[in-house]
Amino acid sequence: MKFPVIWIFLLLSLTSAVTTFPDYPIKRARECPVSAENIGVVVGLEPVESSQAQEIYFHVELAKKGFVPVFLVIENGTSTNSFIIDKTMVTYGISDFTISTPLTESGAGKAIALSAIPFVGPFAGAKIISGASQIQQNLMKKEIQSTTLSPGASVHGFLYVPIPRKNPRGKITLRVPISKAGTNEHFDLNLVF
């Protein structure tokens, strides 16, 4: 069956109209502007605050919507232990000081304000952008996922942290809880940005 030239042109036009979202450049956790480590697990964080970068990777200025996308890289540098990462247990809060060195388990939690807020369940892209399904799908696709990190494995993705829309955001502390698989051992890695 032959298609008229106009139909072929129309199909090509429609396929090129699909929005593409480039992947955010992946770094090693220690190469991120902010990182913390404990017993071989390293968490790196990079806030994407430039409106230009937000347009490139998300096709929307998230800061204007009251969010800063935070790129996380979590690496298991051990050769024998697996660790559980549960994104629903990650909390954030206002920080009144910066952390200059990684915290140990005994110092965990000192940088989080009393009003630390947990991330609950999967991020709802609809809270940021309504009526833009491709953008919503991209936000959810790029979000970090809960997982078990095998020895030598890593995971990366975004969290979308609420910020003031009109005022400077100030320092934020992100608390990432890590659990050692098969045990009751856990610790928090705190990152200030």
pLDDT digits (tens, 9 = 90+) for 153-166: 999 999 999 998 88
35, part of any domain: yes
pLDDT of residue 21: 87
Domain count, the chain: 1
Those residues with Cβ within 8 angstroms of residue 132's Cβ, 6 or more apart along the chain or in another chain: 60
pLDDT of residue 167: 84
Q: Which two tokens stand for residue 52?
A: 């230009």
Cα pseudo-dihedral 118, 121, 125, 127, rounded to 10:
-60
9, part of any domain: no
138, part of any domain: yes
How many residues would you count in the chain? 193
Mean pLDDT of 19-45: 94
121, part of any domain: yes
Nearest-angstrom CA–CA distance, 45 and 171: 14
102, part of any domain: yes
5, part of any domain: no
121-150: string of b/e by CB count within 10 Å (b at 16+)? eebebeebbeebeebbebbeebbbeebebe
% the chain with pLDDT above 70:
71
7, part of any domain: no
Provide the whole-model pTM.
0.74
Residues 44 and 30 sit within 8 Å (Cβ to Cβ):
yes
33, part of any domain: yes
pLDDT of residue 109: 32
Q: Please state, as a whole number, how many other Cβ atoms lie within 10 Å of the Cβ of residue 84.
A: 16
For residue 92, what are the β-bridge partners? 117, 174
> Which residues constitute the domain of residue 91?
20-192
Those residues with Cβ within 8 angstroms of residue 157's Cβ, 6 or more apart along the chain or in another chain: 71, 72, 142, 143, 144, 145
Q: Which two tokens stand for residue 57?
A: 């990777």
